[in-house]
Amino acid sequence: MARWLPNPSQRLVVAALDLFSERGYENTTVVEIAERAGLTKSTFFRHFPDKREVLFGGEAMADLVAQGIAAAPAEAGPLEAVAHALDAIGREAFTPDRREFSTRRRAVIAANPELREREALKGLGLTASMIDALKRRGIPDLASCVAAELGALAWKIAYERWSDPANDDEFGEVARRALDEVRAASALC
Amino acid sequence: MARWLPNPSQRLVVAALDLFSERGYENTTVVEIAERAGLTKSTFFRHFPDKREVLFGGEAMADLVAQGIAAAPAEAGPLEAVAHALDAIGREAFTPDRREFSTRRRAVIAANPELREREALKGLGLTASMIDALKRRGIPDLASCVAAELGALAWKIAYERWSDPANDDEFGEVARRALDEVRAASALC
C-alpha cells in the first residue's frame, strides 16, 4: 500500500511502520523498508539519516511548534502562546486522518528501547524549540523554560489521549484541555 | 592520582574525566581508562556498562532522589517534597569537595554530543524517579508529573550555578533558591 502514496518520504514512513509492526523493529532492515515502499536504499538515506529516524519526521515538528508560538497574538502569555503551537500541530500534523497511523506508531515505539530513547530525545528537542520561540517573543528565560516544560507535558498527555482509537476529538481540543489541567495542577504544587 | 583513591569505581571515574579532558572523549578507550586507574578492563565493565556511562553514576542518583522524597515530612506538598530530594543530593552527592570535579565534568559533557545525549536521558530517568516517589506519597498523577518537571528544571539551573567555581554556596541552598524562582515563574505562566 505504501507504494501508492505520492510522497517518497511518506511511503517510506508507512512501509517502515508496516514492517516494524509485522516483524519487529530489530528484524527490519533499511533495504527492506525501501523495497516495501518501491524505492531504493539511497532514496531512504536522502530522506532519513538512519532506521531509527524514520518514525520521527526530522525537524518538521520543531519548526511547526516554533511557527505556532511566533504566530500567537501579541497579548498572549507564555502558556497561551504554547496553546497556539499545539493548535498548529493539530491543524498541520496530528490531523484526524493520521490518528490510526499514530496509534500503530505508538505501539511500535513502546515495544522497542532504541525507539523509546529516540522519542525521548525528540521530545527534548521540541521543548528546546518551544523555549527559543518563547524567548523570541520577549518572555523572560525562566518563564520560557517553565511554560515549555508544562507545554511538553500537556503535549505528551494529549498525544496519548488523541491517539487512542476510542477518541473522536481533534488534537487541538484535546491539547487545550490537557494544558488547562496541567496549569491547574501546577497551581497546587 | 586516580590510582590512590580507595574505591575502584571512583578511581575509574576520575581517570576517565582526566583522560577525556586531556585528549577528548572520542580519543579515549576503556582500556586506557582502566590503565590510568591502575585497574583492568574487566574491572571497568563490572562497574559500568560502557564508556559513556562512566560519568553518570548508574542508578545511585535516582535512588537518592526517591529516598529524599520518601523521607520528606508527611505534611510536605509536592514541590516541598522535591526540595527535600534536592537537599539529599546536596548532602550525599554534590558535596563541596565535588564542586571542582563537577565543573570539569560539565565541560567534558558539553564538548561531546554522545555525552550530552546520555545526560539528557539520565535527566529523564531522574524525573521519572521523582514522579514515582511523589505518587507513592499519594500525590495525584498529574501533580506528581508537574512537580517533578519543575523540580528537574530547578535541579538543572542549580547544578549549573553550583558547579560554577565562583559559587561558594552549598548545593541544597542553591537548589532551594532555584526551586523558589521556578515556582514564581510558573505562577506567572
pLDDT at B136 (0 to 100) = 98
pTM: 0.89
Structural domain for A37, as ranges: 2-54
- Smallest CA-to-CA distance from B159 within B94, B64, B87, B65 is with B94
- Alpha carbon distances (Å) from A75 to A3, A81, A96, A127, B30: 47, 9, 30, 22, 55
The C-alpha cell of B151 is what? 523540580
- Structure ipTM: 0.87
Mean pLDDT, chain A, rounded, equals: 93
B90-104: average pLDDT: 92
CATH number at residue A76: 1.10.357.10
* For range A78-90, the mean pLDDT: 96
CATH of the domain at A48: 1.10.10.60
Let me know whether A95 and A17 are in one domain.
no
Domain count, chain A: 2
Chain segment A8-48, per-residue pLDDT in tens: 998 999 999 999 999 999 999 999 999 999 999 999 999 99
pLDDT at A4: 61
> Is A167 or B84 the better-scoring residue by pLDDT?
B84
Are A129 and A74 members of one domain? yes
Question: Which residue of chain B comes nearest to A181, CA vs CA?
Answer: B142
Distance CA A63, CA B131 (A): 30
Residues in chain B within 8 Å Cβ distance of A187: 187
Average pLDDT, chain B: 93
The verdict on A11 and A66 lying in the same domain is no
Instruction: Report the C-alpha gap between A20 and A35 in whole angstroms.
Output: 14
Whether residue B81 is found in the same domain as residue B35: no
Tell which of B114, B142, B189 to mutate to test the A interface (max A CBs under 10 Å): B189
User: Is the Cβ of A188 closer than 8 Å to some Cβ of chain B?
Assistant: yes
> Helix, strand, coil % (nearest 5) of chain A?
75, 0, 25
Q: Of A54, A82, A97, which residue sits at a domain end?
A: A54
Q: Which three cell numbers stand for residue B14?
A: 576520575
Query: Do residues B96 and B173 both lie within one domain?
Result: yes
Lowest mean pLDDT among A87-91, A157-161, B84-88, B112-116: B112-116
| Average pLDDT of the residues in A104-115 | 92
Nearest in space to B64 (alpha carbons), one of B126, B150, B122: B126
pLDDT at B1 over 50: no
- Closest-CA distance, B153 to chain A, in angstroms, reads 8
Q: Are residues B115 and B34 in the same domain?
A: no
Check if A117 contacts B (Cβ < 8 Å). yes
Q: Give the CA count within 13 Å in the CB-facing half-sphere of A46.
A: 8
Interface probe for B, chosen from A146, A157, A177, A180 (most Cβ of B below 10 Å), is A146
Confidence of residue A188 (pLDDT cuts 50, 70, 90): confident
